[in-house]
Amino acid sequence: MNKNETNQWIANYRTDQPHFGLERMVKLLALRGNPHLKLKVIHIGGTNGKGSTIAFLKNMLGKLGLRVGVFSSPYLIHYTDQIAINEESIPEARLETLMVDYRSLLEGEHAHDLQGTTEFEIITAIAYDYFASEQVDVAIMEVGMGGLLDSTNVCQPILTGITTIGLDHVALLGDSLEAIAEQKAGIIKQGVPLVTGNIVPEALAVINQIAKAKEAPRLVYGEDYQVSHQGSVGTGEVFDYTSPLRQGRFQTGLLGLHQIENAGMAITLLDTYCQETGRELASNDLVVQALEETSWPGRFEVVSRSPLMILDGAHNPHAIKALVETLQERFADYHKEILFTCIKTKALEDMLDLLETLPDTELTLTHFEDGRATDEEVLKEEARSRNLNYQSWKEFLDQKMTENEEIRHQILVHKSMCSNQKLGKSMLFLKLCGR
């Protein structure tokens, strides 16, 4: 199969709704020799903050000289972005070869047993397969949705992490923080250390109860480790970190007040990993360098500085709230122009309610061509009822172009991302005009 053929083949397994359950994953991976059981896995779940926490952690582990595999979703630009080793995405040729192997399983004599297999299950299995064959030192696996029945949850990790708990995918995971927390806590394993982020008390209580029942040692934000914001700089956030194992002042390479929580959790995961594997703790100098060098596309990503333009993938009320807080703290006296859209399973009205609290802000809704996208008429009606702007994203971005070729290039790059439907669950494009 060539690239187009493989893309068309796996697209046949795409579904609007996840087929929760681990039976198909267990059968599929067993046919491949159980590669997921041959890996040292750090398993990361949570509502928001997973990607940034993983980005910080992989950089620090890489600085230790380790081969670090990372599986994350959704991809932003290229399909191969989901599976990477030390920043190098899986080669397209290798991905195609693995897809051929999995196609033979799914269409061969075991087809009946594997009925209902989804695209996400296939790509998760391929990630485990690839990391095992490449003999990575550690694989960081990001939960796709929920935790308990997510296809990544077939692993036997050496360490788990839960970043945050917020209302998201309520139709599938539950309509309360407690119910969602129970699903997220499904990744906790017997006796395996668990690091938790800044989680609201009612959700944390559920997680702690499950961790206690499974005798999983807990390292809790605000108790076992602390972070304290010290100030914002042009490239990130300065914070103090304190735990029984480490203390120091650090700076993130990512913008946003919430990033100090993600960075603090990543440091705790790093130190716990070193303890669990008998490694010497990384120096503060190494941690400083790794955090400052961390980038994560689509997470409050500065795509132009003159004028200041930011791309962000906040896709639920919990994430939008964090975004609003950052904008109010860092850009209170800027005039803000926001282009926003989301997929149909997201809490559109709740997110807009939060965005409308921002002063000196022009909010524009838009639509993109994707089967998951919120219907254009729904967005237009929402704009009319709230007295907001509605505009084609192409027209909006064209209007923001200047004679500056660098700015023009950056905008065109992100237009391409939009047109290729790779922005994931939502899109926030912000233009901030001078103080």
- Number of residues in the chain: 435
Q: What pLDDT sits at residue 424? A: 41
Q: For residue 1, how many other CB atoms are within 10 A of its CB?
A: 13
Residues 110-117, mean pLDDT to the nearest whole number = 90
CATH topology of domain 301-433: Protein-Tyrosine Phosphatase; Chain A (3.90.190)
Q: What is the pLDDT of residues 182-222, one digit of tens each?
A: 999 999 999 999 999 999 999 999 999 999 999 999 999 99
- Quick one: which of 427, 432, 175 has its CA closest to 320? 427
Q: Which residue has the tokens 């735990």?
A: 243
Q: What pLDDT sits at residue 428? A: 58
Greater pLDDT, 143 or 77: 143
Q: What is the pLDDT of residues 317-326, one digit of tens each?
A: 877 887 888 7
Alpha-helix runs per DSSP H in 19-118: 23-30, 50-63, 92-107
Residues 75-84, mean pLDDT to the nearest whole number = 80
Report the share of the chain in percent with pLDDT over 90: 52
Considering 44-53, 62-71, 178-187, 369-378, the range whose residues carry the highest mean pLDDT is: 62-71
Q: What pLDDT sits at residue 195? A: 98
pLDDT bracket for residue 10 (50, 70, 90): confident
Range with the poorest average pLDDT among 263-267, 361-365, 399-403: 399-403
pLDDT exceeds 60 at position 91: yes
Q: Parallel, antiparallel, or unpaired for β 236-242 and 88-89?
A: unpaired
DSSP string, 104-159: HHHHSTTTTTTTT--HHHHHHHHHHHHHHHTT-SEEEEE-SSSSTT-GGGGS--SE
| Residue 22: partners with Cβ closer than 8 Å, 6 or more residues away | 149, 151, 153, 154
DSSP 12: T
Greater pLDDT, 84 or 346: 84
Domain 3-292: assigned CATH number? 3.40.1190.10
pLDDT exceeds 80 at position 162: yes
pLDDT exceeds 70 at position 133: yes
For the chain, which residues make up each domain, given as ranges? 3-292, 301-433
DSSP string, 241-301: EE-SS-EEEEE-SS-STTHHHHHHHHHHHHHHHHHHHTPPPPPHHHHHHHHHT---TTSSE
Decide: pTM greater than 0.85: no
DSSP 86: T
Greater pLDDT, 214 or 110: 214
Residue 249 backbone dihedrals phi, psi, to 5 degrees:
-110, 135
Greater pLDDT, 94 or 324: 94
CB 397 within 8 A of CB 423: no
